[in-house]
Structures are given as structure tokens and as C-alpha cells.
Amino acid sequence: MVNLVYFARLREALGLDSEKVALPQGVGDVASLTQWLRGRGKVWDTELAPGNRVRVAVNLEVAEQSTCIADGDEVAFFPPVTGG
Amino acid sequence: MAVRVQTEDFDITVEVLKLRRGNPKIGAVACFIGLMRDINENVTVTEMTLEHYPAMTEKALTEIVEQAKRRWDIMDVLVVHRVGTLKPMDQIVLVAVAGSHRRVAFAACEFIMDYLKTRAPFWKKEKTDKGVRWVEARDIDDDAAQRWH
């Protein structure tokens, strides 16, 4: 299982702050996980589309599309940060 | 070196005294204080809520401070960032850098703020006279961080 967490505008749009999912066959990096989540359709497809500049962190480190994901990881999805 | 995320306000006098106490080699402390304004993009803002990613925030701030310490010969750093609900004129963030001379202190302070703005997982939501909205990230902040590369 991996723990998925969502923040800020994305959390509100998806209506979900976290969930545990079993990684499907063939999902092993950020790009394929994002693609799989977009496959849920509707708001998932639009919110996680590339044009939305969604940021991803894997195990609390900022990740790239190619960053690997394995069982037990925490993967966070969020909009560009706006602190300070 | 310390990084803190808190809902409470901070007292800069107390914080700077703590930062430099007992170290006679410190010749300069540069401070940046970020404040909440009552206007953003020409719309009146009455309240702001800061959200963060608790597990990641301190780690991200610590990494930024460590990078600053590798780049400049600085002696101590304090970062305090508030979360929760804030009103116009409230303090949002404090970055204080102690060094032997002003140049390193100024430079490291600016670097830490530029990186914090683009890398630390905080998000602002504003209550305005036109409704509630999430603050959008600005390219100008990315450019500011980029110039240190």
C-alpha cells in the first residue's frame, strides 16, 4: 500500500485529504501513478492534468516524474507553494 | 540553528537576543519579517489561512538552511513560520541570520527567503471582499530563487 496525501486547492477540488491505495501492476513512478489517478476520471483527470503544474513529493522529498514509488511510500500531491 | 512552525505570533526582539546570546564572534544579524497585507492583486483581503504539510515542512526548511550554511560562512539561523488564520498586519515569517559581517548575513537571509517561497510546503488561502481564493504561485518568486543557481 502507498499513502497518498493531497493539499490546499487540490485537496478541496478532489474532496479528499488522504487515502491508502494498493499500487496496481505497472505503476512504479510518479508519472505512472499520476496517469493511473487521472484514470479515475472527472475532477481527477482535470486536476492532475500536466497544465496544472501539480507538484509531487515522495517520502517528504520533492519528486520528479521519474521518481520511483514503492510499497510503504507516502506520495503527496499539491499546487505550487505560496508560503513566506 | 532552529526552524519552527507555529500558530502563535513571535517577538523579534526576544528571538534575536536568543539567536546571538553568548557568541561574541557575531558581528551582524540580518532579519526578514514577512507581513500580511490587506490587499493582493487589487482586491481587499480581510483574512488569510496558512496551510502546510506538517511532516515535510520542517525537513524542507532545515534543508534550505543547511544549503545556506554551505554557501556562506554564517554562525546561526532562525526560521519561524506561522500557520493558521492571520489578519492584515500580522507577522507571517521571520528569517534571522547571524554572521561575522553584514554581507554574509544579508545574502544568506535573502537566499533562505527566496528558497522558502518556492520550496517550503505552505499554501495561503485568502478571504477577500469578493470571496475566498487560494493564492497563486508567482513566476517572480521562481525567478528570484533561480538566480541563486
B139 or B48, which is more confident: B48
User: Cβ–Cβ of A57/B56 closer than 8 Å?
Assistant: yes
Q: Does A57 touch chain B (CB under 8 A)?
A: yes
Strand A55-58 to A61-62 pairing: antiparallel
Structure confidence by residue, pLDDT tens digits, B48-68: 999 999 999 999 999 999 999
User: Cβ–Cβ of B117/A81 closer than 8 Å?
Assistant: yes
Closest to B123 measured CA to CA, from A4, A42, A55, A31: A55
For residues A22 and A4, what is the distance between their CA atoms, to the nearest angstrom?
10
User: Cβ–Cβ of A82/B135 closer than 8 Å?
Assistant: yes
Q: What band does B149 get if pLDDT is binned at 50, 70 and 90?
A: confident
How is domain B2-146 classified at the architecture level of CATH?
Alpha-Beta Complex (3.90)
Fold topology of A2-78: Ubiquitin-like (UB roll) (3.10.20)
Q: How far is Cα of residue A26 from the mean position of the Cα atoms in its chain? A: 16
Q: Supply the pLDDT for residue A30.
A: 98
User: Cβ–Cβ of A82/B124 closer than 8 Å?
Assistant: yes
A7 contacts on B by Cβ (under 8 Å): 51, 53, 121, 123
Task: Give alpha helix (H) positions in A1-84.
Answer: 8-14, 30-38, 42-47
Structure confidence by residue, pLDDT tens digits, B66-110: 999 999 999 999 999 999 999 999 999 999 999 999 999 999 999
Which of A4, A12, A61, A81 is most worth mutating to test chain B (most B CB atoms within 10 A of its CB)? A81
Q: Does A78 touch chain B (CB under 8 A)?
A: yes
User: Cβ–Cβ of A84/B113 closer than 8 Å?
Assistant: yes
All structural domains of chain A with their residue ranges = 2-78
Q: Write the CB contacts of B65 (distance below 8 Å, at least 6 apart in sequence).
A: B1, B3, B77, B79, B112
Residue A10 Cα, gap to closest chain B Cα (Å): 10
B141 contacts on A by Cβ (under 8 Å): 84
pTM attached to this predicted model: 0.95
Q: What is the pLDDT along chain A (84 residues), one digit of tens a residue?
A: 999 999 999 999 999 999 999 999 999 999 999 999 999 999 999 999 998 899 999 999 999 999 999 999 999 999 999 999
Q: What band does B114 get if pLDDT is binned at 50, 70 and 90?
A: very high
Q: Supply the pLDDT for residue A27.
A: 97
All structural domains of chain B with their residue ranges = 2-146
Q: Does A60 touch chain B (CB under 8 A)?
A: yes
Cell 492534468, located at residue: A49
B119 contacts on A by Cβ (under 8 Å): 62, 81
Q: What band does B43 get if pLDDT is binned at 50, 70 and 90?
A: very high
Q: Supply the pLDDT for residue B98.
A: 98
Q: Does A5 touch chain B (CB under 8 A)?
A: yes
